[in-house]
Amino acid sequence: MVAAYRGSVGASLYQMIRAAIFDLDGTLVDSNDLPVQAWQETFRHFGMEIPSPRLREQIGKGGDQYLPVFLNDKKLARVEELVDSQTTMDDVAHSKPKADVFIAALRTLGNLPPEQAIAIGDTSYDVEAAKKINLSTIALLCGDCPEDDLRDVGACAIFRDAADLLDRYYQSPLAG
C-alpha cells in the first residue's frame, strides 16, 4: 500500500516538491517481520517450508510475486486518516519492482509530475520502481535492506527509519 500527502513539503532553487509518497509496510509501520511470518504460515498450510531469510529477501514486492492471490490490506496505525489518497494492488496491473503503484499514486494526486513528488520506501524494490519514472526516493533502513544496496539503486537520501527522517527533517530532501 502506498499513501500520499499533498502540500508544500520543501523547496529548492530549481523545483518545489509538492507531495511525498510513502511506502507504508516496513517504512512507516515496522511490519517487516509480520509479512514474513504470514507467508511462512501460508506456505506451511500448503505443505511447504520456506526459510525466513528467503521470504525476507522478497519483502517489498507485491503479494502477487509470491502467490497469484494477494492478502487483504492491513489497516495499521489509522494512517488512512492522515493521507489525501491511497493506492493498493487493486489499482495497478503490476506490483513493484514495476512502477505502476507510483504512477497510480501520482494520478490520484491530480496527475502530479514525478519531479514534484518524492517516494519514501524501505527496500531496493521501492527505489527501483520509483526510479523507472524519475521519482526520487528517500530510503529507510528499517526494511533490513543493506544501505549500500539502497545507495546503489539510486536512493537520494537514506535514514534509519521514519522517526530518524522526522528528527532530521531539515537535513532531508523534503526540506528543500
Q: List the pLDDT tens digit at each of the 176 positions of the chain.
A: 666 666 655 555 456 888 888 877 777 777 778 778 877 887 777 577 778 888 787 777 665 555 432 233 473 334 456 567 777 777 888 888 899 999 999 999 999 999 999 999 999 999 999 999 999 999 999 888 999 999 999 999 999 988 899 899 999 999 98
Count of structural domains within the chain:
1
Domain span including residue 98: 2-31+70-175
Q: Does any domain span residue 119? A: yes
Helix or strand run (H / E) with residue 36: helix 33-45
- Residue 167's domain is classified under what CATH number? 3.40.50.1000
Q: Does any domain span residue 93? A: yes
Nearest alpha-carbon partner for 67 in 99, 104, 35, 101: 35
Q: Does any domain span residue 50? A: no
| β strands within the chain, DSSP E | 2-11, 16-23, 85-87, 117-121, 137-140, 157-159
What's this model's pTM, rounded to 2 decimal places? Answer: 0.60
Q: Does any domain span residue 56? A: no
Q: Does any domain span residue 59? A: no
Q: Does any domain span residue 129? A: yes
Q: Does any domain span residue 115? A: yes
